[in-house]
Amino acid sequence: MAQAIAFYVLAAFILGFAVLVVSTKDTVHSVLFLVLDFLFVAALYVLLGAPFLAAIQILVYAGGIVVLYLFVVMLVNLKRAPEAHQDPHRRTKLGFGLSAAVLLELCAIAVFSNAQPAPAAAATNALAAMPVSGNTEQVGWLLYTSYLIPFEIASMLLLVAMIGAIVLAKREL
């Protein structure tokens, strides 16, 4: 019961801040609302039994990526006025129309997959025999045994992204 209340409160905050992110005129405020949103999502992860992921979310997303956004916003904002409205109406209506199409697709997927429930038991049994307990250990075990190759590829991806970001942001090549 308390869990349900906590979930709904967190969900309300998350959605509220997300709407604020998308609709605020001032970019810096938007970034701040994004940070708050990420913190609430991390709290949701703790509620859902994933403390390791919550800490990683705060460390990487809220503490790293959004700082990057804040830097770029400040470097770009230095002489700009808030965005001028050049014929916003046509764009906005088209945007909402496309979003409604995406919503219809999501509903269609949900309804279609409810008609044939996927076998959930098989996945559970296959990896129930894990020799470690505790959430972090389980994630670590999976990362290093079954999913080792994606792990290595992800580290390659991060390396490439790091080099790419440095090269792209240099003043003279």
Partner 1 sequence: MMLSAALFMIGVIGVMVRKNIIIIFMSIELILNAVNINLVAFSNQLHNAIGQVFAVFVIAVAAAEAAVGLGIILAFYRNKETVNIDEMNLMKW
Partner 2 sequence: MIDQVVIPLLKIVIVLNATLVGVTYMVLLERKVIAWAQSRLGPMRVGPYGILQPVADAVKLMIKEDITPVRADKWVFTVAPIISMVPALIVYAVIPFGPVVRMFGRDVSLYITDVNVGLLYIVSVASIGVYGLILAGYASNSKYPLLASLRASAQLISYEVAVTLTLVSVILVAGSLSMVSIVNAQYNSGWWFAFVQPLAFVIFFIGGLAETNRAPFDLPEAEQELTGGFHTEYSGMRFALFFLAEYANMIVVSSVATTLFFGGWLPPFPNTAAFHFLYYIPAWAWFLTKSFVFLYIFIWVRATLPRYRYDQLMRLGWKVLIPLAIANLIVTGIVKVVLM
Would you say 139 and 52 are in contact if contact means Cβ atoms under 8 Å apart? yes
Which of the stretches 14-22, 96-104, 131-139, 152-160 binds partner 2 when contact is defined by CB under 8 A? 131-139
Site for partner 1 in 18-57 (CB under 8 A): 18-19, 21-22, 27, 30-31, 34, 37-38, 41, 44-45, 48-50, 52-53, 56-57
- 148 makes contact, choosing from partner 1, partner 2, none, with CB < 5 to 8 Å by partner type, with none
- 58 makes contact, choosing from partner 1, partner 2, none, with CB < 5 to 8 Å by partner type, with partner 2
Determine the residue type at 147.
Y
DSSP for residue 170: -
Taking alpha carbons only, the member of 90, 74, 62, 59 closest to residue 28 is: 74
- 9 makes contact, choosing from partner 2, partner 1, none, with CB < 5 to 8 Å by partner type, with none
Would you say 42 and 62 are in contact if contact means Cβ atoms under 8 Å apart? yes
Residue 43, φ and ψ in degrees, nearest 5: -60, -40
Confirm or reject binding of residue 162 to partner 1 (CB under 8 A).
yes
Confirm or reject binding of residue 64 to partner 1 (CB under 8 A).
yes
Q: By C-beta, is 1 or 45 nearer to partner 1?
A: 45
Confirm or reject binding of residue 35 to partner 2 (CB under 8 A).
yes
Tokens 């509220």: give the residue: 16
Determine the Cα–Cα distance for residues 22 and 30; give it in Å rounded to an integer.
7
- 160 makes contact, choosing from partner 2, partner 1, none, with CB < 5 to 8 Å by partner type, with partner 1
Confirm or reject binding of residue 104 to partner 1 (CB under 8 A).
no
Determine the Cα–Cα distance for residues 106 and 136; give it in Å rounded to an integer.
32
Here the tokens at position 167 are: 């090269």
Tokens 């075990």: give the residue: 141
- Interface contacts to partner 2, rule CB under 8 A: 28-29, 32, 35, 51-52, 54-56, 58-59, 62-64, 67, 70-71, 74, 134-136
